[in-house]
Structure 1
Amino acid sequence: MKSGEKPSRGGFTLVELLVVIAIIGVLVGLLLPAVQAAREAARRMSCSNNFKQLGLALHNYHSAYNRLPMQGVGTKSGTVDGPLAGGANVFGSFFDHNVMQLSALVGLTPFMEQQALWEQISNPLFVDHNQNGTVDTGELYPAMGPTPQEIDGELYTPYLTEMQTLRCPSDPGRGLPAQGRTNYALCQGDSPLLSLYGNRGTTLAVDVAGAGWFTWGGARASQAGQRGVFKTHEFTGFRDVLDGLSNTIAMGEIATYLGDRDVRTSARTGQGAEGYITRCDGFTDPQRPRFWLSTATVDVADNPAFAGKARGYRWASHIPCQSSCFTIKPPNSLICANNSDDAGVFGMSSNHQGGAHVLMTDGAVKFITDSIEAGNQDSPTPTRAGPDTNIGGKSLYGLWGALGTRASRETIDAEF
């Protein structure tokens, strides 16, 4: 090296840099799916743990009261029409009672480490909406709150609370227009009949026979339709689960609506008295089978004002679309109904690959795949007009239906 010359420094050529970058890109491409899979496995385990906590809550509740919490519980006035009687009375202006529209999840709150929330709900509550320091109309709520629907649900703050125990980490849904999401729903068996009314009419009087709903008796209709662990407006207990606690589903996982036309979380409506049972398949988009056609009537998508018709939007509401599930169609199938918040096929679903979690009545948590045997999907369930067939009989929906019924004397001898 000549005097005065600077020593040369070694370096990478452009080609070498490009090769290194390409290698790093390949490695990232190989590792990213593994990282994502590990994250989803962790989220799935967290979801399963949430269900275990709910199972403990159910058993602790049963130990305390010798029965399970009621789906469709609450307070009522003896002079005002009951659920879905129509008009503003039901949806928006009940400040003195809640028309027995609370889900069983409300009663579970003190048993899943939500004692403070339960204290708010079970006592009179003042919410200063007008922020003037005085009690104005609609700001003082009674014990157990108003109906968790529409206007009242937006104002009554305890119902808006999102609890981590009720949320699956894999579900990205957050915030409005939802009013307290839940990814876990109460199983009501293999028939949607009476899942909204129970064996009561619009005035909440026991047995709807002669009230224009059934010609064959409300009690028999309840036997034919309410076949799951949970029954609307009626208490049940472990003693009623004749098929065995380990063979009967108590709760199922549901995905919540994300503002799209997902067939699992927004119901195809207007199907008539019987058409909603299994006959919505022709309205899915052939190019995107997980979504409804743009021409199909999906109230929550076509009219965002119908937030009550979005899956899992209100944990405190007993409306079937919000907090109930059925074992008719396999997990992650479409949902459809006559009216989306009325009786219909509201199945189980999840954002996990290939299936959804269920909570068995004995507290065990299982992952059910989409391919579970589900019998003849063209089999009709009982309707308001009858016939009153299959009361106490085996499920028409195969192993899946059998897992949802509590007292059909079915023997489960297959792996699930």
Structure 2
Amino acid sequence: MRRAFTLVELLVVIAIVAMLVGLLLPAVQSARESARRTSCRSHLKQIGLAIQNYEASHSVLPFGWDTHGTLWSALLLPYIEGHALHDSLTFAESGPGSWAAAGPNEDAAGTVLEVYRCPSMSQPLHLNSSFIRARVPTSYRGNGGTQVTSDDTSTIVVPGTRSFEMRDQNGIFYACSRVRLSAVRDGLSNTVFVGESHTDNHFLKDGQSMDYWYLGSPQIDPCRCDGGTGGTEFSETAASFYPRMNLRFHDPTAHGRLMELAYGSYHRGGATFVLGDGAVRFIADTIDLETYRALGSRSGAESFILD
């Protein structure tokens, strides 16, 4: 006579299976996050190589942004297999050159480029923002230096610091910048070029959203390269080493402008950066603030050891 499972035995089996799934699930999630982190490192490695190739071709590093809101990430397109997209852009102050006008520039801002996106980032592929339909958020921003505490000079958070509206920052990417490798006197292995950001378009504090983008920005457009001021939201493409990394999570009371400017990531415990020599490093957010800021200046002559 064939004996079937009793209800008690079936419940025991189900309980054992559930327990095994509970034990395995964290391991699976950890493996997936490890794969995503590796992919993120690979993206930053590609960006670092693209910057080096750009410099080899032009004898200068890409500007952070220019007068019609073109960003450093757009200049790298030919070096990340984006020749066709680069050639479709209109580099002009108005008309088709506007990033918010229907045309190739707006289309480009809505084109998904995997190299500019960390797989761990929990943001939609497309969002409507600043009159750009289906705009694509990014995970990576350029190094704007160590002195910036606001996008606009009129809203500087810490007295004696600077805003991205000002020219001549001590980082790598800023308004109409033309930084040469020879100007990175702290050493390429001691200076960050690009790093991760915890992009979160739905988080708002003190009127500031953690929204970061690539290729172009309508709000940056009024910027001038003649020493004048204008434009805003430069933090869409550049970050500051003045606030500590992952500031939003370490100090929820901090001003939203500082949170917006801070580097961070969706990886626990720190963020990934590419240095001037092309090396990619994961840096813990517990790093000493003085050492951290030293990574953001190109010629501060700081003395430190990066473990």
Tell me which interval the TM-score lies in, with the shorter structure as reference length.
0.7 to 0.9
Equivalent runs, 1:30-45 vs 2, <5 Å? 30-45=23-38
Q: 1:325 touches 1:347 (CA, 8 Å); kept in 2?
A: yes
Deviation at 1:156?
Answer: 2.1
Tell me which residue corresponds to 2:286: 371
Equivalent runs, 1:118-137 vs 2, <5 Å? 118-122=86-90
Deviation at 1:163?
Answer: 0.6
Corresponding residue SS for 1:156: helix
Alpha-carbon distance in 2 for matches of 1:110, 1:19:
60
Alpha-carbon distance in 2 for matches of 1:153, 1:196:
29
Corresponding residue to 1:326 among 227, 240, 249: 240
Deviation at 1:234?
Answer: 2.2
Tell me which residue corresponds to 2:60: 67
Deviation at 1:13?
Answer: 1.1
Q: 1:254 touches 1:349 (CA, 8 Å); kept in 2?
A: yes
Percent identical across equivalent pairs?
Answer: 33
TM-score under structure 2 length normalisation: 0.80
Q: 1:194 touches 1:232 (CA, 8 Å); kept in 2?
A: no
Q: Deviations over 1:11-38 (max 9, x none)?
A: 1111111111111010000000000000
Alpha-carbon distance in 1 for matches of 2:115, 2:36:
13
2:285 matches 1:406:
no
Tell me which residue corresponds to 1:52: 45
Q: 2:144 touches 2:296 (CA, 8 Å); kept in 1?
A: yes
Tell me which residue corresponds to 1:105: 73
Task: Name the aligned partner's letter for residue 119 of structure 2.
Answer: P
Deviation at 1:195?
Answer: 6.1
Corresponding residue SS for 2:36: helix
Q: Deviations over 1:102-141 (max 9, x none)?
A: 11111111111111100110479xxxxxxxxxxxxx9x72
Tell me which residue corresponds to 2:117: 167
Deviation at 1:177?
Answer: 2.4
Call closer, same or farther: CA 1:72–1:258 in 2, change over 3 Å: closer
Alpha-carbon distance in 2 for matches of 1:406, 1:63:
19
Alpha-carbon distance in 1 for matches of 2:274, 2:47:
8
Deviation at 1:194?
Answer: 8.6
Deviation at 1:324?
Answer: 0.7
Task: Name the aligned partner's letter for residue 127 of structure 2.
Answer: L
Corresponding residue SS for 1:404: coil
Q: Deviations over 1:299-346 (max 9, x none)?
A: 5xxxxxxxxx44214542353221111112222113746xx6xx9860
How large is the RMSD of aligned CA atoms in angstroms? 2.6
Tell me which residue corresponds to 1:17: 10
Corresponding residue to 2:272 among 351, 357, 368: 357
Equivalent runs, 1:299-314 vs 2, <5 Å? 309-314=209-214
Between Structure 1 and Structure 2, whose CA radius of gyration is higher? 1
Alpha-carbon distance in 2 for matches of 1:414, 1:357:
14
Task: Name the aligned partner's letter for residue 351 of structure 1.
Answer: Y
Corresponding residue SS for 1:19: helix
Corresponding residue SS for 2:272: strand
Task: Name the aligned partner's letter for residue 235 of structure 2.
Answer: C
Structure 1 stretch displaced more, 311-320 or 107-116: 311-320
Corresponding residue SS for 1:48: helix
Corresponding residue SS for 1:357: strand
Q: Which one has more relative contact order, counting CA pairs under 8 Å at least 6 apart?
A: 2
Corresponding residue to 1:251 among 171, 189, 194: 194
Tell me which residue corresponds to 1:117: 85
Alpha-carbon distance in 1 for matches of 2:83, 2:193:
23
Task: Name the aligned partner's letter for residue 106 of structure 2.
Answer: Y
Corresponding residue SS for 2:60: coil
Unaligned runs of 5+ in 2: 130-134, 154-165, 221-232, 249-253
Call closer, same or farther: CA 1:230–1:313 in 2, change over 3 Å: closer
Equivalent runs, 1:141-220 vs 2, <5 Å? 141=96, 145-146=97-98, 148=99, 156-174=106-124, 175-178=126-129, 179-192=135-148
Alpha-carbon distance in 1 for matches of 2:50, 2:32:
27
Corresponding residue SS for 1:177: strand
Deviation at 1:231?
Answer: 2.9
Task: Name the aligned partner's letter for residue 33 of structure 2.
Answer: E
TM-score under structure 1 length normalisation: 0.60
Tell me which residue corresponds to 1:76: none
Q: 1:336 touches 1:346 (CA, 8 Å); kept in 2?
A: no
Corresponding residue to 2:216 among 296, 306, 316: 316
Task: Name the aligned partner's letter for residue 81 of structure 2.
Answer: E
Call closer, same or farther: CA 1:32–1:159 in 2, change over 3 Å: same
Alpha-carbon distance in 2 for matches of 1:195, 1:254:
16
Task: Name the aligned partner's letter for residue 347 of structure 1.
Answer: A
Alpha-carbon distance in 2 for matches of 1:345, 1:255:
9
Unaligned runs of 5+ in 1: 1-7, 74-98, 125-137, 198-220, 270-297, 300-308, 375-397
